[in-house]
Amino acid sequence: MFRTFSLTLLITYFLLATACKSTYVSSISHQNTAIDEQINTIDSNLVSIYLPYKNILDNDMNRVISVCETDMVKNKPESGLTNLLVDLLLEEGKTEARNQSLNFVPEVSFFNYGGIRTGLQKGDIKVGKAFEIMPFENEMVFIQLTGAQLQQFYDLIAESGGGSVGGVRFVISNQKAKHVIVSGKPLQPENKYWMATNDYAANGGDDLIVLRQRIDFKSTGIKIRDVIIRNFEKQYKAGFTLKEKFDGRISNE
């Protein structure tokens, strides 16, 4: 299903392999030599190697994986786009935890706001759009935090005016997260919770040092981009379209 990244690597390999066949120059001559023919031959060889894979790559990138009912852009404290992405991350995180026979189920999720690079436009959504939304090679990971650490984390989200959080509800009051509810229950400082997020955030990116102070860490080996593609395509095949969802998960006092 997720052929695009491997095809890119394959094309790069062939280009490098061909380039490595160049002959080393052992002496310098002042004689004028026509090289246009040789260059054209090399170019033709490169094209003949590259073109079949380019065609496959183009077809894959243009494959329709969903339909969006309206334009979506990211916004704070919450938005249809941020909610969509973080909810699918939590959904796919739960699925992957089962698939990998992990002894936990993630209860919350986080999609760093700056990592969402573009929005969704009304109409067909193709594979290429997933690369635009998430052009980085970040992976989905799980981290375990105490309730006290989660509170500290949500305070940071509140201080920034909101963000992309799943499995949680809270009110922003004086730049702090108040009345935090996780899985329908008040956040307990002494409890432990698993979060689905990306490796960039988990390693303290965007000054989220508290996530680096986690109790435990599990890597899935799956790119966030592939998680998006998998979820969009699964919903599309089931007959569902992408809709904006506002549920008041983050509100201002």
Q: Which of 17-26, 76-85, 237-246 is predicted least confidently?
A: 17-26
Residue 28 or residue 142, greater confidence: 142
Order of all β-strands in the sheet with 250-252: 185-186, 176-182, 168-173, 250-252
Q: What is the mean pLDDT of the chain?
A: 85
The one-letter code for the residue type at 163 is: G
Break the chain down into helix, strand, coil percent, rounded to 5: 45, 25, 35
pLDDT digits (tens, 9 = 90+) for 107-137: 999 999 999 999 999 999 999 999 999 888 9
pLDDT of residue 25: 41
Average of pLDDT values for 129-157? Answer: 95
Average of pLDDT values for 233-241? Answer: 96
The structure tokens 């990211």 sit at 74
Global pTM reads 0.78
Instruction: Indicate whether 5 pLDDT > 60.
Output: no
Q: Is 221 exposed, middle or buried (0-12, 13-18, 19+ CB in 10 A)?
A: exposed
pLDDT of residue 206: 87
Residue 124 or residue 29, greater confidence: 124
Confidence of residue 42 (pLDDT cuts 50, 70, 90): low
